[in-house]
Amino acid sequence: MNELAHILIRAKKDIYRYLSGSNLSRFLGHGYDFAELVEYRIGDDIRDISWISSAKRGEIYVKKMHEEKDLSIVCVAMVEGRMAVGNKYETLLQTVASMGYIAHYQHNLFGGYYTIKGALQRVEPSKSHQTVEYFVEQLYSQNPLGQSLEYQSVLEYLMEHLHSKALVVVVGDFLDDVDLARLAYKHEVIAIVVRSIDEEIPPYQSDVELIDPTTNQASSKILTPNAIKYYQKKLQQHDAKLTQHFNGHGIRFIKIYHPDEIVERLGKVLA
């Protein structure tokens, strides 16, 4: 079994096993959306009573629901050189596959975008598992090493071209400054931050050759304890700013370090 097949089969098994139990309703809603509050009438289902609203108004009110339209899930894979660090790219592939199979299991539309050398490629949305597999195959065929990416340019493009409201899932390492405010104003946005432990806690090494994965340029450095502390401090400041941005615009987010964590963490952010 090749690596691509292993990624797809693992994602499918993990998601289907998780959703086959009591967790199904935790993902992506229940198929109905709230419409309005109306006074209770004989024959209304008492399970629809809004007890909080009824207590406030002194009358019994029920929630009238209408069936939701198909949920459209747009997955955006931000591929650039830093994804070659550690197992980040495998984690990104597994995350995209998992999101796709969740959508397929729930009969939702799934498609999205991925970047090649900074240019966006679109995957047309559908409810077929073949779309999930095609998306992951296209990503798997790419070598992220040496690729650079302008995060904000990609996000601005999405803002201009995503006309229908969607659940937009952006997968990347978010080590660059980003502004998702406009995208989150129109769409529901989830940010999935893919990182390597070694990025956040780099090992001490006296004399190393560092390679910039976005340019393939090498440089000799001495990673002293003070240098590592300074780097970690700057990264923590960056992540604190990122978290503040996400929280300020109602963007749900998770951080994933390893493929083994994907299903559990997706369960938390999609609940």
Confidence of residue 188 (pLDDT cuts 50, 70, 90): very high
E strand segments, the chain: 32-39, 61-67, 72-77, 109-116, 119-126, 167-172, 188-194, 205-212, 217-223, 252-256
**If you average pLDDT over every residue of the chain, what do you get?**
86
pLDDT digits (tens, 9 = 90+) for 78-130: 999 999 999 999 999 999 999 999 999 888 999 999 988 878 999 999 999 99
115: closest CA among 69, 85, 79? 79
Q: 119-163 pLDDT, tens per residue?
A: 899 999 999 999 999 999 999 999 999 999 988 899 999 999 998
20-57 confidence digits (pLDDT tens)? 764 544 455 444 454 566 776 776 666 677 777 667 67
Domain 69-270 class in CATH: alpha beta
pLDDT of residue 211: 77
Q: How far is CA 175 from the centre of its chain?
A: 15
Indicate the SS3 state at residue 112.
strand
Q: Cβ contacts of residue 9 below 8 Å, gap of 6+?
A: 1
The mean per-residue pLDDT over the stretch 180-195 comes to 95
The pLDDT value given to residue 221: 73
pTM (2 d.p.) = 0.82
- The structural domains of the chain, with segments of one domain joined by +, span 32-67, 69-270
DSSP classification of residue 76: E
Dihedral sign for Cα atoms in the order 237, 238, 240, 241: positive
